[in-house]
Amino acid sequence: MIDVEDEAVTDSTNNGSDYDVIIVGGGPAGLCAAMYGGRGMLRTLLIERGLPGGELLNTELIEDYPGFESILGRDLADKMANHARKFGAEFVTDTVDAIRREPGGGFVVMTDLGKTYRAPAVILTAGGTPNKLGVRGEKEFAGRGVSYCAVCDGAFFKGEVLAVIGGGDAAVEEADYLTRYASKVYIVHRRDKLRASPIIQQRALANPKIEMVWNKVVEEIEGDERGTRRIRLSDTVTGATSTLDVGGVFVFIGFTPNTGIIKEHADHDSQGYLVTDSHMMTSIPGLFAAGDVRVQLTRQITTAVGDATTAAIAVEKYLAERREQASVGAA
Ligand SMILES: Cc1cc2nc3c(=O)[nH]c(=O)nc-3n(C[C@H](O)[C@H](O)[C@H](O)COP(=O)(O)OP(=O)(O)OC[C@H]3O[C@@H](n4cnc5c(N)ncnc54)[C@H](O)[C@@H]3O)c2cc1C
């Protein structure tokens, strides 16, 4: 579905390309890159498989985006998407299957709906997919008590006892959020201290509905026809096993970056996050990366839009350099 007609300029040096830049993924990074691309008068296409917003749509309240002391994730998503559209970025709803580099140095982007789009530059802003525990019962009870999104599913667990698995910012924040609905929330963590930032820990640990379960990993999720009933735990220090009766399990043990669609080697770290230079360009010339797909210290909305700003402006420079090289070659 194309929301906005292409009104931007045509770049005569990008012969054969549909766009100047294609942005894959419409979370905060993609939406910000689309805004800058459109504003920079680049023919900008953003391809997003769902509604624009990315993880903003899975976040209830955002309290750390400058200028907004408190804003709903979905409201910030709408504002960012409208802002990008206002500057002429074109939006398509589709899933990208492959990004391939062509012999001339441009890219072809192929989608689930069988479409093919071409541009001399691509910005990958596809974020990540939640990691799974990989234990028995996880698949079986997915959607029947096992969830990876508190905002999406929390309201289904009114009055229940829940377990949140993990010890980082997302786990602790979401445990706090889930106490709106749950009668009690256990945070099950494999170590004896949390990784979450101090302010998030403070808030959660002061919450009387939250109880920490230290040094435990989940071995199995058990249930019946009504859904999840309990989790079987193993102590990481003593090896002793135990059970916790819970009506739901929320898993927040990190993300794997969505980089499998790049069909040639791009440098990455051991977890698959893309390595970029200071212009957000990957080891593949013309392929840029921004936001949660990229190697970095922290993954936040502010860092995602910061990366995207750099990437979009770097794309302008990259295209100008290509034009210059093409005109030298033609002379
Ligand atoms: C529960 C939770 C709460 C959070 N709370 C906060 C907070 O309060 N403050 C804060 O600063 N940060 C918060 N974060 C982190 C923040 O949301 C992320 O860092 C940020 O959204 C990253 O933006 P992004 O654009 O890189 O990726 P994402 O937001 O993940 O967006 C990626 C987009 O790419 C799309 N996509 C993926 N693959 C494809 C494909 N093949 N084809 C087409 N589209 C594709 C996805 O559908 C998605 O919309 C939170 C994260 C979570 C999970």
- CATH number of the domain where residue 243 is located: 3.50.50.60
Nearest CA to ligand 1 atom 30: 127
- Decide which of 203, 234, 251 is a domain's last residue: 251
Distance between CA atoms of residues 327 and 313, nearest Å = 21
> DSSP characters for 169-202?
HHHHHHHHHHTTT-SEEEEE-SSSS--S-HHHHH
Identify the three-state secondary structure at position 266. coil
Closest residue by CA, ligand 1 atom 8 = 62
**Which residues partner with 20 through β-bridges?**
none
CA 174 to ligand 1 centroid distance, Å: 15
Burial of 42 (0-12, 13-18, 19+ CB in 10 A): buried
pLDDT at 167 over 80: yes
Please give the model's pTM, rounded to 2 decimal places: 0.82
pLDDT above 80: residue 12: no
Structural domain boundaries enclosing 53: 12-130+255-330
Per the annotation, the verdict on 153 as an active-site residue is yes
What is the pLDDT of the chain when averaged over all its residues? 92
Residue environment code for 279-304, b if the CB has 16+ CB neighbours within 10 A, otherwise e: ebbbebebbbbbbbbbebeebbbebb
* Percent of the chain surpassing pLDDT 90: 82
| Residues contacting residue 222 through CB under 8 Å, at least 6 positions apart | 137, 228, 229, 230, 231, 232, 243
pLDDT score of 1 more than 60: no
Ligand 1 site: residues with CB under 6 angstroms? Answer: 24-30, 47-50, 54-56, 58-59, 62, 64, 95-96, 125-127, 170, 174, 258, 261, 291-292, 299-302, 304
The DSSP H or E segment spanning 254 is none
Indicate whether 138 belongs to any domain. no
Residue 98 falls within a domain, yes or no?
A: yes
58/99 same-domain check: yes
- Residues 47 and 113 reside in one and the same domain: yes
**What mean pLDDT comes out for the span 303-312?**
98
CA 78 to chain centre: 16
Q: How many domains does the chain have?
A: 2
**Mean of pLDDT values over 6-18:** 45
Q: d(Cα 61, Cα 200) in Å, to the nearest integer?
A: 14
| DSSP code of residue 19 | -
63 with 157, same domain: the answer is no
pLDDT at 149: 87
Nearest to 138 by CA among 220, 17, 73: 220
pLDDT higher for 1 or 225? Answer: 225
Contact 17/118 with Cβ under 8 angstroms? yes
Q: How many CA atoms lie within 13 A of 123 on its CB side?
A: 41
pLDDT at 153: 87
Residue 293 CA to ligand 1 center (angstroms) comes to 9
Q: Which of 69, 250, 301 to mutate to test the pocket of ligand 1 (most atoms within 8 A of CB)?
A: 301
pLDDT of residue 16: 53
Residues 162, 62: one domain?
Answer: no
316 in the same domain as 281: yes
Pairing verdict, β 128-130 and 216-224:
unpaired
